[in-house]
Amino acid sequence: MAAATELRGSAPQTTTGQAGQLPPAPQSVQSAVVQLVDPRETLLPMLEGLSRALGYRRAAVALYDPARAALRGTVGLNVPDALAESIEIPLDEAENPMVMALREGVPLRVDDTRLAHLREDAMSLLLEMEFTSFAVVPLPSESAQFGLASFQGRDVPSVGVVILSKNETITDADLERLMPFAAQAGSALVRASDVERLRDSSEQHAMQKEWLFWMVNSVSDPVILTDANNDIILQNVRAESLFKANPDDSPGKSRAIWMNNFLFTAALSTSVLGQNTAGRATTDLTLVDPIEGTELLFEMRILPATNYFNGARGTVAVLTNITDLRHATEQVTQNVHLLQSAEDEIRQERDRLNLVLRSVPNPIILLDMSNEPILMNHEALRLFQASPIDTNRSRRAQVCVTNEAKFTSFISQLRLDPAQGMSSELVLTDPDSREQLTMSVTSTEVRDDVGAVVATVSVMQDVSRLRELERRRMEQILFDSEKLAATGRLAASIAHEINNPLEAIKNALYLLTNKTHSDDPNAKFLQIATKETDRVSRILRQMLGFYRPPKMEPTDINRLIEESEGLIEKHLRQNRIKLENDLDARLPAVIASADQIKQVLLNLMMNAQQAMPSGGTISVSTRVSHGADPEFLMSDSVHIQIRDTGNGIAEEHLPHIFEPFFSTKDEKGTGLGLWVSQGIVQAHGGSIKLRSRQGRGTTFSVALPIGGPAEHGER
């Protein structure tokens, strides 16, 4: 590759190649003003030479000025400059000897007679310069470039005339002798003019080159001119930074530049294939940044160039850096891929979600903040949206509309009253079976990134069946308790009827026993009769206590406990049993029958005592519960706990201990204590439960609603 000529101006290299930041015009541009050669510098020595050699005293030169079509005085010898320069003879003064000499190209001798033909101002000027008799010699021109093209259709062969006078008369021989000098002066003038033109044109060239330099280097893209062999002829500064090697370059930079030249030439050679009819082509070119070592991507536009001066052909290559563009494009492509895969993922996610929503049998509804449905699963659609085949007035469509209205007002209510919680029940109608559906609805607020509520998702659970079972259970309980009450009433009325004759029997037995001596053989029969009547009496007492019409009134449970304990205190002490109380002082009064609850407390305490034949501890505690117990969710309740350290209840006895007449105490127990107690507690709307571990003890828990039984007083 031939060494490239750089297109370089006089501006410092560091400022090149940055369009819009041009430094002030360089010095060379300012000095490029055309300086005309003063013709006097050529003519004056000639006039002086003539004066010396041929004895001429005075002389003046008038040169042809094509712009004014006149001969104009330029220089004089022994003639004042002002006079010499004031000569101006238009070329159309054909009679003027100076015009004649110029146009004919022949010398003339002029004397008084000739002068007489001249215009007055011209004649007086000549006389003033003391030219009375003189010679006019043309200064021949050899060069057509001088600009003396023609005057009135004729070539003018001279560049001007010289007029000379001396003391003696001028002869033809003098004229002959002057001719060679005149010819010499003419061509000297022409040469001077040529030199001047040349200088002028090279200044112009320098100026143009300077502007060209700025023009090409203002482009931040590399611009390269190559010849027919793809060798670089010219390149701008940016191109030099990529392609021009310097002797002091590092080995790495030299290698990069060598590589760039190689790649560029290769691309140029192959670009021929892509040329269009106008010889233009565009191709991509990858180069190396010689400083950074990084990859640079260019788009190379190739345009053909012809030097019409010598007919040589070349190529102009303009490289546009598209590294960033390419990277941006790659980034965009990558982002598009990422977006596509994200979209795929979202689609898959949505499909999965749809599958889940379809498979869930519970209705699921997503509502926006204006209660417009965003999403409904299949089951929700069935309940709330009439299908297209359902006409507006069809029963099914109406059910759907009603369901939707119910649900919307339900959700609005939930939103209005957050204290209510987001879970509640709603009764809808099945559009297909027309059945009533009790739906347990759980709504959750959907929040966006900044925590604002944007939607509500509601999941419904059909609890109709559950509620139906509950209803049946309640009915059964009611039925059972009614049965129990009826049994109780029957038992109590029998007990009442038996009680009076029994009292009479007991009195009779008492009298008989008092009258019978202990040695009497009948005394033992009397003892048996007394024991058995006592037993019958105990049974009747239990029965009557249960039945006795209860007096429901606010009752202090703690006081009842203390009273009951007072009744058996002595008995407990005798049996080495300790009593421990932990009674809640803030216990509210309970609507209850004090007599009946006391009977329950005594039954439980007596059982505890009987379970501890060798002594122990009975712990009694009370507490209040505010709706926390699953059994009394809606109401507050009072809980009584009676714990003993006795022998506990055998596992196999547990299912039977509330049954009437179940006892493990032989004839000492009637087996009615717990049965009656449970009846009383249940009649109060409460419950009785126990925990027992054999050998460790038993705990009975009685819970009573503070407000008493729901329908107290109805028994």
Ligand X SMILES: Nc1ncnc2c1ncn2[C@@H]1O[C@H](COP(=O)(O)OP(=O)(O)OP(=O)(O)O)[C@@H](O)[C@H]1O
Judged by CB under 6 A, the number of residues near ligand X is 22
Q: How far is the CB of 566 from Mg ion (least distance, A)?
A: 19
Write down the least CB distance from residue 675 to Mg ion, Å.
10
Residue 514: how many other CB atoms lie within 10 Å: 8
Q: Which residue is nearest to Mg ion (CB)?
A: 673
Task: Return d(Cα 622, Cα 560) in angstroms, integer.
Answer: 12
Minimal distance in Å, beta carbon 621 to ligand X? Answer: 16
Indicate whether 662 belongs to the interface with ligand X (CB under 6 A).
yes
Angle between helices 464-515 and 673-683 (to 10 degrees): 130
Helices (runs of H) and strands (runs of E) counted in the chain: 17, 24
Nearer to Mg ion, 17 or 545 (CB): 545
| Single-letter residue type at 475 | E
Helix axis angle, 523-547 relative to 673-683, nearest 10°? 20
Q: Which does 18 bind (CB under 5 to 8 A by kind): Mg ion, ligand X, none?
A: none
Task: Assign 302 to helix, strand or coil.
Answer: strand
CB 694, min distance to ligand X, A: 9
- How does DSSP assign 17-55, residue by residue? T-TT-PPSPPHHHHT----PPPTHHHHHHHHHHHHHHH-
- Which of 673, 679, 685, 709 touches Mg ion by CB under 5 A? 673
Please, what is the minimum distance in Å from the beta carbon of residue 644 to Mg ion?
Answer: 12
| Interaction between residue 663 and ligand X (CB under 6 A) | yes
Residue with tokens 């329908």: 711
649 near ligand X (CB under 6 A): yes
Give, as ranges, the residues between 592 and 651 that touch Mg ion (CB under 5 A).
Answer: 607
Q: How far is the CB of 668 from ligand X (least distance, A)?
A: 7
Pick between residue 102 and residue 608 the one whose CB is nearest to ligand X.
Answer: 608
Q: How far is the CB of 674 from ligand X (least distance, A)?
A: 3
Q: What does 70 bind: Mg ion, ligand X, none (CB cut-off 5 to 8 Å by kind)?
A: none
Cβ pair 713, 552 in contact under 8 A: yes
Instruction: Select 626 or 696, whichever has its Cβ closest to ligand X.
Output: 696
Q: How far is the CB of 518 from Mg ion (least distance, A)?
A: 32
Which of these ranges, 25-33, 34-42, 521-529, 664-672, lies near ligand X under the rule CB under 6 A? 664-672
**Does 105 help bind ligand X (rule: CB under 6 A)?**
no
644 binds ligand X (CB under 6 A): yes
With CB under 6 A as the contact rule, the residue among 73, 290, 314, 646 that binds ligand X is 646
What is d(CA 382, CA 430) in angstroms, rounded to the nearest whole number?
A: 9
If binding is defined by CB under 6 A, does position 669 make contact with ligand X? yes
What is the C-alpha to C-alpha distance for residues 107 and 172, in angstroms, rounded to an integer?
Answer: 9
Exactly one of 665, 689, 691, 693 binds ligand X (CB under 6 A); that residue is: 665
679 binds Mg ion (CB under 5 A): no
User: Out of 43, 657, 681, 706, which residue is the one contacting ligand X (CB under 6 A)?
Assistant: 657
Indicate whether 602 belongs to the interface with ligand X (CB under 6 A).
no
Q: Residues 136, 139, 140, 141: is their CA dihedral positive or negative?
A: negative
Task: Report how far residue 712's alpha carbon sits from residue 628's, in angstroms, rounded to the nearest whole number.
Answer: 23
Q: Beta strands 616-626 and 577-582: pairing type? A: parallel
Nearer to Mg ion, 590 or 676 (CB): 676
| Strand 364-368, strand 373-376: pairing | antiparallel
> Which of the residues 203 through 222 are near ligand X (CB under 6 A)?
none
From residue 649, how far is each of 297, 595, 695, 697 by CA, in Å? 95, 28, 8, 8
Instruction: Name the residue nearer to ligand X (CB basis): 551 or 696.
Output: 696
Considering the complex, state which of residue 26 and residue 669 has its C-beta at the smaller distance from Mg ion. 669
Partner touching 298 among Mg ion, ligand X, none, CB below 5 to 8 Å by kind:
none
Rounded to a whole number of angstroms, the minimum distance from the CB of residue 606 to Mg ion is 6
Beta bridge partners of 365: 376, 458
d(CA 496, CA 540): 8
Distances (CA, A) of 196 to 36, 69, 318, 420, 500: 6, 21, 38, 108, 167
* Nearest CA-CA partner of 217 in 237, 200, 234: 237
Phi, psi of 279 (to 5 degrees): 80, 10
Which of 67, 454, 401, 2 is closest to 224 using CA atoms? 2
- For residue 76, the surrounding DSSP H or E stretch is strand 70-77
Is residue 607 close enough to count as binding ligand X by CB under 6 A?
A: yes
Q: DSSP label at 154?
A: B
Q: Does 599 bind ligand X (CB under 6 A)?
A: no
- Give the chain's largest Cα–Cα span: 221
Listed ranges 66-74, 148-156, 338-346, 640-648: which one lies at the site for ligand X (CB under 6 A):
640-648
Burial class (CB in 10 A: 0-12, 13-18, 19+), 238: buried
CB of 582 to ligand X, least distance (A): 18
Residue that has been written with the tokens 């991507």 in this structure = 297
CB of 625 to ligand X, least distance (A): 23
Which member of 102, 568, 611, 620 binds ligand X (CB under 6 A)?
611
Identified binder of ligand X from the candidate list 17, 97, 290, 673, rule CB under 6 A: 673
Among ligand X, Mg ion, none, residue 698 binds (CB under 5-8 Å by kind): ligand X
Instruction: State in angstroms the smallest separation of the CB of 620 from ligand X.
Output: 13
Residue number with CB closer to ligand X (522 or 694):
694
The listed partner (Mg ion, ligand X, none) that binds 591, CB under 5 to 8 Å by sort, is: none
Q: Are 576 and 630 in contact (CB under 8 A)?
A: no
Distance CA 170, CA 59 (A): 13
- For tokens 């691309």, the residue is 267
- Could you tell me which of 357, 374, 465 has the C-alpha nearest to residue 411? 374
Which listed range, 75-83, 304-312, 363-371, 665-673, lies at the site for ligand X (CB under 6 A)? 665-673
Q: Which is nearer to Mg ion, 107 or 673 (CB)?
A: 673
* Strand-pair partners of 307: 312
671 binds ligand X (CB under 6 A): yes
Q: Which amino acid is at 17?
A: G
Q: Which is nearer to ligand X, 576 or 665 (CB)?
A: 665
Alpha carbons 614 and 645: distance in angstroms, whole number: 10
User: Is 373 one of the binding residues for ligand X (CB under 6 A)?
Assistant: no
Q: Which does 672 bind (CB under 5 to 8 A by kind): Mg ion, ligand X, none?
A: ligand X
**Six token digits for residue 523:** 């005394």
Residues 680-709 that bind ligand X (CB under 6 A): 698
Least Å distance, CB 670 to Mg ion, is: 8
Interface positions with ligand X (CB under 6 A): 603, 607-608, 611, 644, 646, 648-649, 653, 657, 662-665, 669-675, 698
Interface positions with Mg ion (CB under 5 A): 607, 673
